[in-house]
Amino acid sequence: MKKKKITLGEIARLAGVGKATASRVFTEGASVAPATRERVLTVARDLGYQPSQLAKSLSTGRTHYVGVIFAYMDNPFYAASLEVLTYTLQDAGYQVLLLMAWNDTPEEEKIIQKLLDYRVEGIIAGSASISNAIAQRCADLGIPVVMYNRDQLRLNLPAVVSANYQGAHAATRLLIRTGHTRIAHIAGWQQATTGIERAKGFSDAMAEAGLEPVAITDARFLRHLAVEETHRLMRDGPRPDAILVGNDNMAMAVMDVLAGAYGLDIPGDVSVIGYDDAACAQLGRYDLTTVRQPVGQMAREAVGLIESLILDPAQPARKVVAPATLVVGSTVRGMDLTTTASIEALSRELGIDVEVRTPLAPGLSA
């Protein structure tokens, strides 16, 4: 037999209070006399009553939902970001409504409509584009949008990004400094600011050194396209002696192709640098030299930004740029970082924090 659902009205009647008073007991921050609160809660516990969050949201006008939109999750950076975003939002009293939306697809309208149907109070969009029409629609409805690891300058949306240009520029200079001259860039999506800024950092560093890139190819941050571009680099024209890759997920695929399909040694034959400092890139099989994006800091900044915008949607759009760190693994040949002093000197030279994951020579010391 189906158990009868207990209503707030019944709780109020049995506790000898009005329904409005009983409702305040279950409303965070509402003023209720301690004795009355305890009486209502005792009746609720005895009857197994659970307040309806949906009903509460209808009465208060707030849902405490934040929509999070990602285009893909095979990149470990976004999986790690989602974890931090979710925990941070939950700690702040919000719940996450996660939806997936590939860039440049007709599904975008449906995805945003779902978020609006659930009356989300804000949207954090990472690795997914937001069109002018959708951004304006959210603005008209008073729903703030924060871009995460992606900026859309033409819309002037609030955004949290890392120092993409600086990171790629420093990584390229490291390759040049260690004697590499035939350098290719397997880039991220060239319609996203992350991919554009990293490619520009690479191009500018090459130009400053008087070098021509072997190639700059758009692999859209996707592993399978990085595999295709690696085969093309090995097959067509002069082979590179180093490759800067737009993210770690692609860089690991590049390394697998170089070693597996062509029998090349990394870094003996080809040096490889990635971007993100994903956990899997730190594994001994890869020990990838990369540029770290501070996931925890970026996710917490995004939550802080969306919280402030929910409270005051009219405030000016703000951009948060998190610092990048060059993390040295074992995939670049010619490194001479054997002391703390040499690491600090490289950091000053490149204008970026440098961290050595694995000592490159015995006795790493001050």
Of 142, 141, 159, 140, nearest to 151 (Cα)?
Answer: 159
Structural tokens at position 250? 């692609």
pLDDT surpassing 50 at residue 362: no
Amino acid sitting at position 96 = V
Q: What number of other Cβ atoms are within 10 A of residue 138's Cβ?
A: 22
Alpha carbon distance 99, 274 (integer Å): 27
| Residue pair 144/115 in contact by the 8 Å Cβ criterion | no
What pLDDT score was predicted for residue 366?
35
| Residue pair 249/224 in contact by the 8 Å Cβ criterion | no
Alpha carbon distance 344, 365 (integer Å): 12
Average pLDDT, integer, range 239-251 = 96
Instruction: Indicate the helix (H) or strand (E) that contains 272.
Output: strand 271-273
DSSP 92: T
Reported confidence tier of residue 1, pLDDT bands at 50, 70, 90: very low
Classified as helix, coil or strand, 325 is strand
Alpha carbon distance 195, 111 (integer Å): 24
pTM over 0.75: yes
Bridge partners of 66, per DSSP, are 96, 122
pLDDT tens by residue, 188-239? 988 888 999 999 999 999 999 999 999 999 999 999 999 999 999 999 878 9
Q: What are phi and psi of 351, to 5 degrees?
A: 70, 35
pLDDT surpassing 80 at residue 275: yes
Greatest C-alpha distance within the chain: 85
Of 103, 82, 83, 86, nearest to 94 (Cα)?
Answer: 86
Of 282, 258, 279, 267, nearest to 175 (Cα)?
Answer: 267
pLDDT tens by residue, 159-200? 999 999 999 999 999 999 999 999 999 999 888 889 999 999
Topology agreement, domain 65-161+295-322 and domain 164-294+324-356: yes
pLDDT tens by residue, 301-353? 999 999 999 988 888 889 999 999 999 999 999 987 777 888 899 999 999 99
pLDDT tens by residue, 106-115? 566 677 778 7
pLDDT tens by residue, 120-165? 999 998 866 666 566 667 767 788 889 899 887 677 889 999 999 9
Instruction: Count Cβ atoms within 10 A of the Cβ of residue 154 and give its class: 0-12 exposed, 13-18 middle, 19 or more buried.
Output: exposed
Average pLDDT, integer, range 46-52 = 76
Of 238, 235, 247, 236, nearest to 272 (Cα)?
Answer: 247
pLDDT surpassing 50 at residue 360: no
| Residue pair 244/273 in contact by the 8 Å Cβ criterion | yes
What pLDDT score was predicted for residue 278?
92
Reported confidence tier of residue 60, pLDDT bands at 50, 70, 90: low
Question: What CATH code is assigned to 8-60?
Answer: 1.10.260.40
Alpha carbon distance 160, 284 (integer Å): 31
- CA-CA-CA-CA dihedral for 285, 287, 291, 297, to nearest 10: 90
Give the class (CATH, top level) of 164-294+324-356: alpha beta
Pick the CATH number of 65-161+295-322 from 3.10.180.10, 3.40.50.300, 3.40.50.2300, 3.40.640.10: 3.40.50.2300
What pLDDT score was predicted for residue 208?
97
Of 172, 197, 170, 176, nearest to 185 (Cα)?
Answer: 172
Per domain, the residue ranges of the chain are 8-60, 65-161+295-322, 164-294+324-356
Query: What's the mean pLDDT when you consider all of the chain?
Result: 86
Alpha carbon distance 160, 124 (integer Å): 10
| Residue pair 75/221 in contact by the 8 Å Cβ criterion | yes
What pLDDT score was predicted for residue 260?
95
